[in-house]
Structure 1
Amino acid sequence: MLLVEDEAELAQMVAELLAEEGYAVDVAADGHSGLHHGLTRDYDVVVLDRGLPAVEGLDLLNRLRRSGITTPVLVLSALGNPADRVAGLDAGAEDYLAKPFDIDELLARLRALRRRHLDRARQMPVGQARLDLDAREVCTAGGRVALSQRECDLLATLAARPRQVFSRDDLLVLAFPEAENPVVVDTYVHYLRRKLGRTVVETVRGRGYRVGTPAP
């Protein structure tokens, strides 16, 4: 979980409570570091204050959504009137809780967000198709295409951040942590293209790969 909160005492208290509930918590004290964490690491849930230094909370949320980050966000803010809540939800938040808040309610809302996130994460969009992680299949208009575990891992890594270009070294670490030679990335890109069409993985010259669209 990522907690973006500039009030140090509150951040420490909430982080400790969340740790007691079994969450691994990263704390960011301003919008700039929160944005960096959100763009470079994977989280189940983000808890986000609005009145942040450097980058305001809803601006941070907008930037995450524009970058293709779909992690559910709960806004936790002293701005709690109906117009503020509407602004937060319209910016892309899944939930909004006003300060002061009841800790049991916060924990219950986070559990609900995490459950929904994990359920959705088993079905990932790949263009107009969907990747079923449990069945290791891509469901297209033309039917279902079975993948190996490694093919599935590679496609899931790319699909999780659809606008991001991954270098071969990045994909080696993220999708093939047990491998040492980055050639394995090229090999499995070839396998995916052979099964799903050349457009399923795009090559960005000089930079790496990003997810594309499977053949219909």
Structure 2
Amino acid sequence: MLLVEDDEELADLLTETLSCEGFLVDRAADGQRGLHLGLTRSYDVLVVDRMLPALDGLDLVARLRSRAVPTRALMLTALGGVGDRIAGLDAGADDYLGKPFDLDELSARVRALCRRGPDATTVLRIGTGRLDLTSHDAVLDDGTRVALSAREFELLRVLAARPSTVHSRSELRRRVFDEAAATSLVDTYVYYLRRKLGRSVIRTVHGLGYRLGAL
């Protein structure tokens, strides 16, 4: 499992507790290191502090989800208000535990997340909005849901799964449409998505293709 916690004393205590539960614990003391480990290694579960240097816990989990990392995540925080819990869950955390907490409860929550297994993430981030992989809707920053056709959804899903990658038209045609389809069909569906969600949702990289934008 991966523990991302900048308080060294607390990190030592959590490492000892979780090791006694049988977990092999990797540690990161800031969000950037946690993001790197989360993207390059496979874990059963993540335990992430919300208030971290370099990159906060909300942004860390959201970036992992935007890259389709499905690992279950428990967020720890001293910010225990309802709005704070909602923000953590909306960022992609699977559970939220306020500080101070009981170590036995933390262990139980980690075990519960492990039992649920690493199901594929149900949300991909698109700027301040998201793509709901269950309903096939795009969800705007204000919560408005926009229904997508099957091919609109699949085109946006391919782009959102690798948000920093520039995809050529021929690659997108191969992955989203029938091989026999004209390459121009990709441009047509980019137009459809921009008409529904705004021009910024997909960026044109001239001479190369398209990449994800933002809602």
Superposition TM-score, scaled by structure 1 size: 0.56
Q: What residue in structure 1 maps to residue 17 of structure 2?
A: 17
Q: Output one character per residue of 1:13-62: Cα deviation in whole Å (capped at 9) or x when no partner.
A: 00011001100000100011000000000001000001100001101111
Please provide the CA RMSD for this pair: 2.1
Q: Find the counterpart in structure 2 of residue 107 from structure 1.
A: 107
**3-state SS, counterpart of residue 71 of structure 2:** coil
Deviation at 1:12, TM superposition (A): 0.6
Q: TM-score with structure 2 length normalisation? A: 0.56
List per-residue Cα deviations over 1:68-102 (Å, max 9, x = no partner): 10101000111111110010001110000000001
Deviations 1:148-181 (A, max 9, x none): xxxxxxxxxxxxxx649xxxxxxxxxxxxxxxxx
Deviations 1:127-155 (A, max 9, x none): x9xxxxxxxxxxxxxxxxxxxxxxxxxxx
* Partner-residue secondary structure (3-state), 2:79: coil
Residue in structure 1 matched with residue 31 of structure 2 by the alignment? 31
Give SS of 1:53's match: coil
- Runs of 4+ deviating beyond 3 Å: none
User: 2:117 is paired with a residue of what secondary structure?
Assistant: helix
Give the aligned residue type for 1:41: R
> What's the counterpart of residue 84 of structure 2?
84
Aligned equivalent of 1:40? 40
CA distance in 2, matches of 1:57, 1:93: 9
- The residue number in structure 1 matching 2:211 is none
Q: d(CA) in 2 for partners of 1:44 and 1:108?
A: 14
Aligned counterparts of 1:163 and 1:19: Cα–Cα separation in 2: 33
Alignment coverage as a number of residue pairs: 128
Residue 117 (structure 1) shift: 1.2
The 1-side partners of 2:22 and 2:162 are apart by 31
Query: Could you say which residue in structure 1 is the equivalent of 2:186?
Result: none
Unaligned segments of structure 2, at least 5 residues: 121-132, 134-160, 164-173, 177-215
Counterparts of 1:59 and 1:163 in 2: how far apart (Å)?
A: 17
Distance across 1 between alignment mates of 2:175 and 2:9: 50
1:139-178 aligned within 5 A: 163=162
